[in-house]
A and B are shown apart, each in its own frame.
Chain A
Amino acid sequence: MFEGERIALLGRSGAGKSTLLAIANGSLRSEQGEVRWCGASIRSMPRRKRREIGMLWQDLLLVEELSVGQNVNSGALGRHNLIWGLANLLFNVDQSACKHCLQRAGLDADLIERGLIDAPIRQLSGGQRQRVALARLLRQQPQLILADEPIANLDPAIASDLLDHLLNRSPEGQLNCGAKAIVISLHQPELVHRFDRVIGLQEGELVMDQPADQLTPADLSRLYEAG
């Protein structure tokens, strides 16, 4: 993976996309091989280095019992100590940073000003929850973003908006989300044109790795045909 790359991870259900992302993120251990980030093995990577890798989970893994602001701040827990973590549970610290991330994630500014930060996660709609998870990711300020089917349960408009936030580049060629590279697993092959590179998995095996602009419909049908 190279700096600035936007990678789409494709494959049928059960092909191993989520497993690969969890291994890349370090929350699962691989039986073979090694994942390295900036030259260091994920397994032996110090805690401070781990915060450079951010993940947008398929089921979001928001803490339902906490407020929106506390959830967004939980993205920054890797940079802070236990006292800060406890203070966040008491005061909802660094509100301005939270609001900024929520705005960047596409949440309505009025809604944020009207006290969204203090709202319990349970009160949010599916699209809003997705954006809070994105705001948490942005609050983490990761160098690498891994996203596991982030648009699986979203309506097309919200899905497109979310992808814009993750994949759009500045005129200087840098990703707007602040990361240096991004890997997203998808079930929508029609969106691969928004990526630079496509990796295809079939029953846990890497069967495709090519630039997105060279992908043909035949490649896709081979990838999705019954194994």
Chain B
Amino acid sequence: MNRPKPAAPLLTLLPAMALVPVLIVTWTGLHGGGLSIWQQFLSGALHPSLDPDVLHAVWHGLGVTMATALLSWSLSLLFGVLLGSVCADVVWRSWSLPIWPATGLRRGLAIPRAVHELVWGLLLLQVFGLHPYVAVAAIAIPYSALVARIWRDHLDSADHRPLEALISAGVHPLSALMTALNPGMGAVLMSYGGYRLECALRSATLLGVFGLGGLGTELQLTLQSLQFRELWTGLWVLAAVMLLLEQLLRLWRKRSGVGVHGQRRMLLFGTLAIVLGVIGTFWLRLIVPDQFSGLSWIGLEVPSWTQLNLAATELPWYPMILETLGLTVLAAGIAIGLPPVALLLWPSPRWHQCCSIFWACMRWIPPPLMVLLLLLSNRPSLAIGALAIGLHNSGVMGRLLLEGLQQQSGQRQDALRAIGSSERISWLYGLLSPQSPSYLAYGAYRSDVILRETVVVGVIGGSGLGWQLLESLSSFHWAAVVLVLCCYCALTISGEALSDRCRSLWLQS
């Protein structure tokens, strides 16, 4: 045996080892006290409440959530594309300008991107009070920075030779950019923009769970009062909306092409995004007119240096950071490793369909609700938080993996089957291997997202920086809030740099 050097397909499976410590801790923390509540919860799925008042509340909550998602998505696309274009090197070079302003802006955008939408929501809530636009801004700020990053990455990594040819022929830089780079960017906008709409819906629900209104608030209130039949009314409605949206976006992606039609579709997509944004605005005003009394500035007390110094010494930084990183590693391991391991164990189409349904369920239940459900029969621990975030993100990773596998030709798998390899080996070598570099690259990006998401379960699980942040926000300890936010930013920006390196390494290998 020579030095171990795991190949890409094995690297997709190894992270699943995170499940071992998580399941051991979860198993030892199990208690029977919550079994009857679990029974009630599961039976509630079969008999959701159809009470007119409940239906009305769910319908109203869904309206708020969808309008928030549409408006914030539309704004994030608009600002994201603008900011992404401004911070792309190629744009500045086209005007023969130095690129340092683009570099500076890019670095600056890392901060709004590093802070999770929930943190933005809680912060803005403190500053402006409860207002529908708070949730919209909380989603639009980090999403704009995320869209800007993707847009800029694609602009700068595109083939620039046609652009250089046009500029050298005396074409105005703006026309040259539109002609040379626009067609390729259409596909990016439609594919990534569509995905962002799904994320916006999930985020709007999540913000609701933390009291910013909408369906999430309904779900949280019904779960806290153990009204499982009412909870399931909301969950089924949310599942139906998410499924419908996923199918619509899948259909859109399938039908969207490149070239002339691709450009037309991009224009159509842009127009649609603006129209949906306008619809979102009016819808929100229509549903919650009483809350549109204008944004009020409650204000923040800017902490002094002395307060910051004091907070820096009194907070337990090492345990908090270690807990946050531990949570991230375990959750990322589950999210990345679980889907390929599950598919490898039984590589049959029927099992893959079962997995697909399971992953849809995981995407559909917001992580804080999943934590609360797990806590019905388990002690609070880091493992529960990791399991909740890991399972939720495994839903996203699993769907991505299945979609990627479906696009493979299957020739290699057939060839391996034909030489007598078992179904599992044929699947591993023939299908998973070609898919693994792009899967790992996306896994690296997902780990970034998971690091940001630790704040979501941190506040519930009582661990890490997330918990400290909520504690500090509730006690108006602004010095601690500022420091914890800075720490979060530093962690997520470092994580982003690390995942960027991993991504480029795996995509090149």
Q: List the one stretch of A8-16, A79-87, A101-109, A217-225 in contact with chain B.
A: A79-87
The reply to whether A120 and B509 form a contact with Cβ atoms under 8 Å apart is yes
B residues apposed to A, CB below 8 Å: 1-10, 13, 411-412, 414-422, 424-426, 428-430, 433-434, 436-437, 509
CB-based A-B contact count at 8 angstroms:
103
A90 contacts B425, C-beta separation under 8 Å:
no
B5, A118: Cβ atoms closer than 8 Å: yes
**Chain A, range 65-105, C-beta contacts under 8 Å to B:** 65-67, 70, 74-75, 77-82, 85-86, 89-93, 95
Whether B419 contacts A92 by the Cβ 8 Å rule is no
The contact of B419 among A64, A78, A81, A118, by CB within 8 Å, is: A78
Interface band, chain A = 35 or more
The residues of A with any CB-CB pair to B shorter than 8 Å are 25-27, 47-55, 57, 59, 61, 63-67, 70, 74-75, 77-82, 85-86, 89-93, 95, 118, 120, 140, 142
With A61-B411, A92-B2 in contact, do A51 and B429 touch (Cβ < 8 Å)?
no
A123 to B: closest C-beta gap in Å: 11
Contact between B5 and A61, CB atoms less than 8 A apart = no
CA distance A120 to B426 in the complex (A): 20
**Contact status B425-A85, CB under 8 Å:** yes
A61 touches B412 (CB 8 A): yes
Which A residues touch B422, using CB under 8 A? 47, 81-82
Q: Which of A49, A63, A74 contacts B420 (CB 8 A)?
A: A49
User: Nearest residue in B to A73 (C-beta to C-beta)?
Assistant: B429
* Beyond A27-B417, A82-B428, 20 extra complex contacts between A and B, CB < 8 Å: A26-B418, A47-B420, A48-B420, A50-B420, A51-B419, A51-B420, A52-B420, A59-B411, A61-B415, A65-B434, A66-B7, A67-B7, A70-B7, A74-B416, A81-B422, A85-B421, A85-B424, A91-B2, A91-B5, A92-B2
Query: What residues on B are CB-neighbors of A77 within 8 Å?
Result: 416, 419, 421, 425-426, 429
The reply to whether A90 and B7 contact each other, CB–CB distance below 8 Å, is yes
Q: With a CB–CB cut-off of 8 A, which chain B residues contact A93?
A: 1
Whether the pair B5, A92 counts as a contact (CB closer than 8 A) is: yes
Please report the C-alpha to C-alpha distance between residue A219 and residue B429 in the assembled complex, in whole angstroms.
Answer: 43
Name the one of B1, B2, B424, B434 contacting A63, with C-beta atoms under 8 angstroms. B434
Kindly provide the distance from the CB of A213 to the nearest chain B CB, expressed in whole angstroms.
Answer: 32
**Pairwise interchain contact B428-A85, C-beta atoms closer than 8 A:** yes
Contact B420 A65 (CB under 8 A): no
A-B contact pairs, 13 of them (CB 8 A): A27-B414, A27-B415, A47-B421, A63-B429, A65-B509, A77-B426, A78-B419, A82-B425, A86-B13, A89-B6, A90-B4, A91-B4, A142-B419
